[in-house]
Amino acid sequence: MSGIRFFCDKDVNYFFHMLSVAGVGYDNDYGRSYRDRYPASELGILRRYEHDLVMRGGEHEGALFWIGSYAGRAQEAIDKIEQDGGFEGFEQYNAELLDILDVLKRNYDSYCAEVWPAEEKMLSAKVKEWQTAFDAENVSGRADRLLGLDREETFCPSLVRSVGGGAEAILYAMGPGEICDVFNCEKDLSAALCFIGHEYVVFLLLSVIGDDLDMSLYDAFEGLAEFYSEQLFGRSDTFSGQREFTDLYREKMSEKTYTPAELFRMGAEKIRQRK
């Protein structure tokens, strides 16, 4: 059974739709094509909180990005703030959260009626196409064997069409046993194999390196993921900034076989020696 399961989700797509339309973290034709449907005042509220809403892997983590998980049930989150005093650890953001949630609540029904039906049809076709291709290539099985790792959770690429020009590959937990990762579906299949395959390797590596990665070691970690990805796919279309580390891991593996954890410790030590 494949360790990778593609899907598309209405509420995930809605959240990134609103960010794209507002130009919050994403500047693309998708967002511009819908922008005139929304009052400028509504979009201005989201722009006001751009710094807190946007994720950029390895660079910046918006403190309130997680509110996107309530995009389709904004009233539930509003009730929690108004009745229970807010979300634990985020009570100081209650005013900001209420502003954001009000926008998400007011525009959800029109998205479901006017946008999602066509989006779902297109995304569902892409889910089927990419699932078939990844299963045929046995991406998860090959990666598991190469790294000598597997995880009990299923890796679930969550396809959206609104994140061009900004961050994707954003991990989030959906339910027991499932770890999801947001991807732009507007790639050709070859690029998707490389990029999503790389992120599956990241998913595997986190099982031994830890989900709370020390960001000062980010280049050593991404370089390790790229080292294995290049072996899986023979090339990379996306990641090239960690060549120093892919070269290190390749040199070490030419001497003897090391586990992923051992290689990562070598990369981490290389970074620490710079200080």
Residue ending a domain, choose from 105, 120, 135: 120
Q: What pLDDT was estimated at residue 214?
A: 81
Whether residues 17 and 92 fall in one domain: yes
Contacts of 99 (CB under 8 A, 6+ apart): 45, 48, 49
How is 55-79 classified by DSSP, letter by letter? EETTTEE-TTGGGGGGTT-HHHHHH
> The whole model's pTM is what?
0.91
Whether residues 152 and 98 fall in one domain: no
Tell me if residue 183 falls in helix, strand or coil: strand
Tell me if residue 157 falls in helix, strand or coil: strand
**Phi, psi values for residue 81, rounded to 5°:** -70, -45
Q: Give per-residue pLDDT as tens, 156-210.
A: 999 999 999 898 998 887 777 889 999 999 989 999 999 999 999 999 999 888 7
Q: What pLDDT was estimated at residue 225?
A: 93
Q: What percent of the chain has pLDDT over 90?
A: 77
Indicate the number of domains in the chain: 2
| Residue 46 domain boundaries | 10-120
Q: What pLDDT was estimated at residue 245?
A: 92
Tell me if residue 248 falls in helix, strand or coil: helix
Whether residues 51 and 153 fall in one domain: no
Q: Is residue 184 part of a domain?
A: yes
Return the H-helix or E-strand segment holding 154.
strand 154-160
Residue ending a domain, choose from 120, 153, 182: 120
**CA 92 remoteness from chain centre:** 26
- Give yes or no for residue 267 having a pLDDT over 70: yes
Mean pLDDT confidence for 248-267: 95
Whether residues 198 and 235 fall in one domain: yes
Specify the residue for token string 């599956």: 200
Q: Give per-residue pLDDT as tens, 126-139.
A: 999 999 999 999 99
Whether residues 248 and 174 fall in one domain: yes
Residue ending a domain, choose from 98, 120, 142: 120
Q: Is residue 2 part of a domain?
A: no
Whether residues 137 and 66 fall in one domain: no
CA pair distance 108, 12, nearest whole angstrom: 12
Whether residues 44 and 153 fall in one domain: no
